[in-house]
Chain A
Amino acid sequence: MTTLQSTGRPAPETPFEPGRTGLSGRLRDAHGLSLPARLLVAAVVLAVGWVSVGGASSSDLFMLTTIVVWALIATSLNIVVGFVGQLALSSGFFFALGAYVGVLGTGRWEWPGWLSLLVALGGSAVLAGLLGMVIFRTRALYFALITTGVSLVAYELSFAWSSVTGGAAGISTAGPVEEGGISRPFDLGVVAIEEPEAYFRLGLVALVLLVLGLTVVLRRREGASWRAVREDDALAASVGIDVARRKRIAYIVSSTLIGGVGVYYGHWAGFITPDSFTFADAAFAPLAMVVIGGSGTLLGPILGATVVAGFPEVFRDLRDYSILLYGAILLAAMMIAPRGIVGLAKDGVRGLAGRRAARGERRATTANGDERRD
């Protein structure tokens, strides 16, 4: 179980010292930051984000919302990739499914937005459940490949099934493309989202809620079982964890969330074509975000999404070289820092803390004999 502890949570290596008083004692618990502290961080992030987009230019807003969309997808994907350790590449399928249901719901069938959202969530859950019965019979490389196949089929279908998806020409929330018209608002029942600021705020709220929800789940039995399956599924099974069921549940949760993000994305973009759902963009990029940021951490996917989605903007002047740089950085990250940005940062912090602790320990052992060890 020590391996579980050592890689499971952000900074569990920092020993929890019950005797420690003061601010740092109240802010930290066995899982890293304590829940009230996390709520505080969430509230601050939300407030800052909410207020600061008020005067943002439309290009900045576009950029920020793009990052939020990918952060939502990467965070959802991280459930199955990072916490359960299954290399799922099927996010493209559920993202496309949600986006098409959302856009068709509003544009063609004139459903309210919340109904499209419910249909997309339900549809994703059912399909993920059905797929989950099949795909978890395979493992490792075979699993990666079968989920790749799922994403590729979705991409090809969005071209081929042109009577519904509009084919390569795409489809918009204003109905068929050839009729033109402006995109319709995302009607959530209580509020109708229309302005770019509102979309960003909605996405930010969803992201904060998602991360908080995950924080809670990870502290409970389900989250602990996920990590046990990731570390050693034979060992997990031997202590009574239903491994297949845990994998399926994580996969359904992850895929359903991605389907929901698809609905949000479809409304925000207002217009989608199959090009939004290529294997590289909709299946591989989210995985890259999770891995670059740090898989199995809460902050990692968000950092990864910021890096990968923000990349083209930062390196706009390099136009022709920007994808090359993206590939090169990803490759270098895999070779040098396989645990991602968060892993790097943690190693750095632990290096510092280790040196400080070594100094403190020498002082403590001379003062009183009994020293609490991890």
Chain B
Amino acid sequence: MDLFLQQSANGLVLGGAYVLVALGLYLIFSAMHIPNFAHGEMFALGAFLQYALMRAGLPFFLGMLVVIAAVGLVGACLERLVFRRLQTVSTVAVLVGSLALAIVVQELLMLAFGKDPLAVSAPFDGRVDLGPIVISSYRLFIIAMVLVASAGIGLLVHRTVYGRKLRALAQNKEVAQLTGINTSLIGTATFALGSALAGFAGALLAPTTSIHPHMGFQPTLIAFVVLVVVGAGGRMNTVIACGFLVAVVETLAAGYISNTARQIVIFAGLVVFLAVRPEGAVQQASSTKVRL
């Protein structure tokens, strides 16, 4: 039981990364129908930038703010320079092109920072004793921050003018354009927002993992798994719940079976799940194209 609780707690921390990466991917995919396989590279970029800024002497949280802005900017540039062009070609081009982009980003990170894994120290120490489990206070802070950030995104999408325009774009691009929404600008802003979320996740999680150029691959895959499992009719709260769930399942598999089993359990589960429900968990109502 103790192992179960401890692994679940670890899973929730890992889930924080998955949730933020998946949320960004979900926003980008719902609004613009771009399956961005380079999304996890924004997570890696965030972690590396956090490392670089802390090396340069910036305090942790100030560095984190810079990382969010910088990765968001990178996302906006990528949308304008790469994805806008790829999207006019075909879905296959977006898929293969974004995987190629992922390779480029990984290699650039490797050239800039070297092959050896790097580490960042947490901004504060201390442990919290929660009965059977002990968890470091920074990890608890991560879980709290992920929930706060998710709530913030929820407010942004459902309670602001930008959010209303974004939802209109997701529903129907042509109609949104006809009503006078600058869909091009909203698209770029959403891509920047999604990338910034992934960058934020990278900076936030940097003290808990080893930082290496390939660290973005796993979150990308899991984010896509979440997206597919949730299905086209899913909403953001489903994405968040599913992100945490996948991470907990993964860490439990690692704890109870073996470390190599985590990937097998997730993807074998995915194959079986899609075999039973090819539409995903939440089916789309035929009247709505996309829900945000």
Question: Shortest CB–CB separation between residue B249 and chain A, in angstroms?
Answer: 14
- Verify if A153 is at the interface (C-beta below 8 Å from B): yes
Select A142's contact among B103, B260, B267, B278, beta carbons within 8 Å: B278
- Verify if B261 is at the interface (C-beta below 8 Å from A): yes
By the criterion CB–CB under 8 Å, are A330 and B275 in contact?
A: no
Surface stretch bound by A, among B89-97, B124-132, B237-245? B89-97
Task: Find chain A residues with CB under 8 A from B107 CB.
Answer: 321, 323-324, 327
Task: Find chain B residues with CB under 8 A from A335 CB.
Answer: 82, 85-86, 89, 93, 97
- Verify if B99 is at the interface (C-beta below 8 Å from A): yes
By the criterion CB–CB under 8 Å, are B260 and A160 in contact?
A: yes
Select A140's contact among B91, B93, B258, beta carbons within 8 Å: B91
Measured CA separation A338–B264 after assembly (Å): 33
Interface string of B74-91 (1 = CB under 8 A from A): 000000001001100111
- B102, closest chain A residue (CB): A327
By the criterion CB–CB under 8 Å, are A138 and B278 in contact?
A: yes
- Verify if A134 is at the interface (C-beta below 8 Å from B): yes
Task: Find chain A residues with CB under 8 A from B271 CB.
Answer: 134-135, 146, 149-150, 153
- State the main secondary structure of chain B at its contact with A: helix
Count chain B CB atoms within 10 A of each CB in A137, A156, A291 and give the residue with the most: A156
Task: Find chain B residues with CB under 8 A from A145 CB.
Answer: 224-225, 228, 270
- State the main secondary structure of chain A at its contact with B: helix
- B85, closest chain A residue (CB): A335
A residues in contact (CB < 8 Å) with B? 87, 134-135, 137-138, 140-142, 144-146, 148-150, 152-153, 156-157, 159-160, 280, 284, 287-288, 291, 295, 320-321, 323-324, 326-328, 330-331, 334-335, 338
Measured CA separation A159–B258 after assembly (Å): 11
By the criterion CB–CB under 8 Å, are B92 and A87 in contact?
A: yes
Measured CA separation A68–B95 after assembly (Å): 26
By the criterion CB–CB under 8 Å, are B89 and A338 in contact?
A: yes
Task: Find chain A residues with CB under 8 A from B278 CB.
Answer: 137-138, 142
- Verify if B274 is at the interface (C-beta below 8 Å from A): yes
- Verify if B35 is at the interface (C-beta below 8 Å from A): yes
Measured CA separation A342–B206 after assembly (Å): 44
Question: Shortest CB–CB separation between residue A285 and chain B, in angstroms?
Answer: 10
Known: A335-B82, A335-B97, A338-B93. A327 touches B104 (CB 8 A): yes
By the criterion CB–CB under 8 Å, are A327 and B263 in contact?
A: no
Question: Shortest CB–CB separation between residue B1 and chain A, in angstroms?
Answer: 26
